[in-house]
Structure 1
Amino acid sequence: MNLKTALTIVSMSVLSYTYAQQTNAPKFGKGLFNLVGQDSTWAMNISARMQFLGTHQWDSNSDGLSNPETSFLVRRARLKFSGFAYSPKLKYKLELGLTNRDIGGASEFTNNAPRYILDAVIKWNFHENFELWVGQTKLPGNRERVISSGNLQLVERSLLNGHFNIDRDMGLQLRHHFKISDNFIVREALSIAQGEGRNVTTGNLGGHQYTARLEFLPFGYFKNDGDYKGSDLEKEQKPKLAIGGSYDFNNNAVKNKSNLGSYMITNTGNFYKTDISTIFIDAMFKYKGFSFMGEYAYRDAKDPIAKNNDGTLASDENGNLTNQAVQVGNGLNLQTGYLFSKNWELSGRYTNISLNKDITDKGEENQYTLGLSKYISKHNLKVQTDVSYSQSEININELMYRLQVDIHF
């Protein structure tokens, strides 16, 4: 799908309201418009959002700051289509990314085409609290990854997410929830996916990827799905807590970060395959403007270092072993914030990444982040800024400042 095709889809959707029975202009942040079919057998909400990011960073050492770098970019620009077809029990979501960051990564595995499609999924509530998802979407992994990039508490997700998340993939998911008591809610999710990441067109290169997630909400639902949104913008009047855990197993994975990262290739041009396991434990707590989120991630592999057919260690064209080894290790992310009057929020984050230095050549890294946000219309219109200091066992320490404007229609 190219940009022309994506814009054609949008144009056709806009024109289709002429033939719809009802067209509603939603409130700001609730979509550009709603469409409802003449016989009410389908509905569509069309929305858009953009993020504008400025970054300035320096190398930091005992002599002070050096090597300043500045960048400005449209971090994200997305189009979303959601609604139901035939029955309210059959929902769908289509999300397209239009920035270079979203569509980059074209290769022989994606038919050398831009990766426009982020989500393309159908959700069928086929029986009581059971729901079957079919298509490409986020796997039920760590909480921070499942939280939309437009609903984050800080400018960007943490280093833990960057190193360990399992992102999107193509496959099936079975979701269910039930109540132990009036307030105690349990959610379950099972997934089987291709295991190669999003928009891969060459089929399954290794084995399949299996994911299971279990969540507990002992004090009931958060307002407005707040357990998957940063900050306590709803100012929960009663304590709300969500605790979750996920286990992901990628059988015969060919990438060094499960379904993400670099392909591991031997000297004969074949893929190196190994079983990769990833574990996530996370929690979200909110109460009267205070919020806390914690995550722990752990990744291991059956045989993490790629080997050639003759048993020698595989390396890339530069002799680098790092990209030819599974990024095994663990990470911890802790972040908190408090929402003051007039929707100003002060937030902080600590992240520790500890990769196996003997395997990855990367070692340990700590990052400290302090953020300030002004929510003009909750997450739909906000200005966020943060400053981060990173200490690395291997690389040069860095200081980074970011400023971002986010708008959702």
Structure 2
Amino acid sequence: MKFKYLSFGILLLSFAVTYAQETNSPTFGNGLFNLVGKDSTWSMKVATRMQFLTIATWDEGTDSGLVNPEQSFLVRRARLKFDGFAYSPKLKYKIELGLSNRDIAGASQFTGNAPRYILDAVVMWNFYGNFEFWMGQTKLPGNIERVISSGNLQQVDRSLLNSRFNIDRDLGIQLRHHFNLTDKFLVREKLAVSMGEGRNITTGNLGGYQHTARLELLPFGSFKSKGDYSGSDLKREEIPKLLLAATFDTNQDAVKTRSNQGSYMFNDNGFYQTDINTVFVDAMFKYNGFSLMAEYANRTADDPIAKNSDGTLTGDEVQVGSGINVQSGYLFKNNWEISGRYTNIQLDEDITGKNPENQYTFGLSKYILGHKLKVQTDVSYLSIDNGTDRLMGRLQFDIHF
């Protein structure tokens, strides 16, 4: 039934073309079409994108051979995107809907037992000077790798650091501002107050609120075409460009194992609650086809081991620890790119029971039309200190309209 409603909505959108002042077919990768109201008081760009992924994994056997092979084919992502302005160019909006199983998974009693179609639904109001006020559901200003769109990644997918520590999307408000220290030195500040339980929650605030603050320094000025929030140096920066940033996030009375992500920590009173703090420090550098991204993450909790009211353990714990991720690549003039990544995860073994992990990834990409049409493949070797090693190969095709 919900898919019928979605299809009906798309049909209605197509009829809106008739009542628009201007309808055009943009160049490939810049949306399916653009609409502008007859009185120029609104606009809408409609776009879609898909990712098709093939993945194979093997465990390392006792004789150093490969055992337990597994393969799968996925529609990794399938999304619809709408953005534009309403009433004034100073009031922008963005809606992004996920349609693949991976996009909508995670239904629970806290999401009304409904698929989680909505990824982004946010309005952005430039109310004064360089200040913007955001309201709705969107990505929090966390680590640089998470804020980069999944369609603009340098490798097939994000690193283990991101999967273990990112703070992803949430519902709330944000305040963003930027200013120049000199003609080139750009500073950006981002603040957020959110629910603290992730996206598409319908039951209200279960714990406390989540507060996020991020500071970004760009000493050599802004990147071309927002290249600091995109993988690879597709614009081939003619002068070196650098982003240095730090994020501090505190989730008061958090009820999930990974701040606003992970699983809920239930106990005999309902939920186990504890304050969780996450720190990110990251950098992005690009110059003449060369790119380098580095990230550090650390998560702590006031009392990471979940307990019942009588002090007995529930079996849940906050995933506290730290991680390092370093990734680099070089884009050749024929738009082939080689890239490499090293990721180290050190969760607290005494609390989480998980051993340190090291992952090494080699990637190869062919950009046919930038990130809008590309083919990527990578091979990863995961080494876990308990002696469990794994090899993974992936192939992915991206297309954006």
* Larger deviation, residues 38-47 vs 61-70: 61-70
Per-residue deviation, residues 86-130 of structure 1 (Å, max 9, x unmatched): 000000000000000000111100000000000000000000000
Residues 2 and 116 in structure 1, CA contact (< 8 A), matched pair in contact too: no
User: In the alignment, is residue 379 of structure 1 matched against residue 371 of structure 2?
Assistant: yes
Q: Equivalent residue for 1:350? A: 342
- Matched to 1:158, the amino acid is S
Once the two structures are superposed, the pairs formed by residues 2-401 of structure 1 within 5 Å of their partners are 2-63=2-63, 64-266=65-267, 268=268, 270-315=270-315, 324-394=316-386, 396-401=388-393
- Matched to 1:381, the amino acid is L
Residues 131 and 175 in structure 1, CA contact (< 8 A), matched pair in contact too: yes
Q: 1:383: Cα distance to partner?
A: 0.1
Per-residue deviation, residues 58-95 of structure 1 (Å, max 9, x unmatched): 00144110010000010000000000000000000000
TM-score (norm 1): 0.97
Q: 1:8: Cα distance to partner?
A: 2.1
- Matched to 1:193, the amino acid is S
| 1:341 partner SS | coil
- Matched to 1:170, the amino acid is L
Hey, which bits of structure 1, 4+ residues long, moved more than 3 A?
A: none
- Matched to 1:251, the amino acid is Q
- Matched to 1:223, the amino acid is K
CA distance in structure 2 between the partners assigned to 1:329 and 1:259 by the alignment: 16
| 2:16 partner SS | helix
Q: 1:314: Cα distance to partner?
A: 1.3
CA distance in structure 1 between the partners assigned to 2:396 and 2:107 by the alignment: 27
Identity of aligned residues (%): 66
CA distance in structure 2 between the partners assigned to 1:106 and 1:187 by the alignment: 35
Q: 1:226: Cα distance to partner?
A: 0.2
Residues 362 and 393 in structure 1, CA contact (< 8 A), matched pair in contact too: no
CA distance in structure 2 between the partners assigned to 1:335 and 1:402 by the alignment: 17
| 1:102 partner SS | helix
| 1:12 partner SS | helix
CA distance in structure 2 between the partners assigned to 1:395 and 1:84 by the alignment: 54
Which ranges in structure 1 are unaligned for 5 or more consecutive residues? 316-323
Per-residue deviation, residues 146-202 of structure 1 (Å, max 9, x unmatched): 000000000000000000000000000000000001100000000000001000101
CA distance in structure 1 between the partners assigned to 2:227 and 2:333 by the alignment: 19
Q: 1:2: Cα distance to partner?
A: 2.3
- Matched to 1:66, the amino acid is V
Q: 1:5: Cα distance to partner?
A: 2.1
Q: 1:395: Cα distance to partner?
A: 6.6
Residues 215 and 243 in structure 1, CA contact (< 8 A), matched pair in contact too: yes
Residues 21 and 37 in structure 1, CA contact (< 8 A), matched pair in contact too: yes
Q: 1:341: Cα distance to partner?
A: 2.0
CA distance in structure 2 between the partners assigned to 1:11 and 1:340 by the alignment: 43
TM-score (norm 2): 0.99
Per-residue deviation, residues 329-358 of structure 1 (Å, max 9, x unmatched): 000000000001210000000000000011
CA distance in structure 2 between the partners assigned to 1:61 and 1:157 by the alignment: 27
Residues 143 and 295 in structure 2, CA contact (< 8 A), matched pair in contact too: yes
CA distance in structure 2 between the partners assigned to 1:174 and 1:279 by the alignment: 19
How many residues matched? 400
Q: 1:10: Cα distance to partner?
A: 1.9
Per-residue deviation, residues 231-284 of structure 1 (Å, max 9, x unmatched): 000000000000110000000000000000011111x25100000000000000
Residues 269 and 308 in structure 2, CA contact (< 8 A), matched pair in contact too: no
Residues 295 and 334 in structure 1, CA contact (< 8 A), matched pair in contact too: yes
- Matched to 1:241, the amino acid is L
| 1:72 partner SS | strand
Residues 137 and 170 in structure 1, CA contact (< 8 A), matched pair in contact too: yes
- Matched to 1:307, the amino acid is K
CA distance in structure 1 between the partners assigned to 2:387 and 2:22 by the alignment: 58
| 2:306 partner SS | coil
Which ranges in structure 2 are unaligned for 5 or more consecutive residues? none
CA distance in structure 1 between the partners assigned to 2:122 and 2:75 by the alignment: 26
CA distance in structure 2 between the partners assigned to 1:273 and 1:164 by the alignment: 18
Q: 1:312: Cα distance to partner?
A: 1.4
- Matched to 1:368, the amino acid is Y
CA distance in structure 1 between the partners assigned to 2:348 and 2:399 by the alignment: 40
CA distance in structure 1 between the partners assigned to 2:181 and 2:344 by the alignment: 35
Residues 52 and 406 in structure 1, CA contact (< 8 A), matched pair in contact too: yes
Residues 120 and 138 in structure 2, CA contact (< 8 A), matched pair in contact too: yes
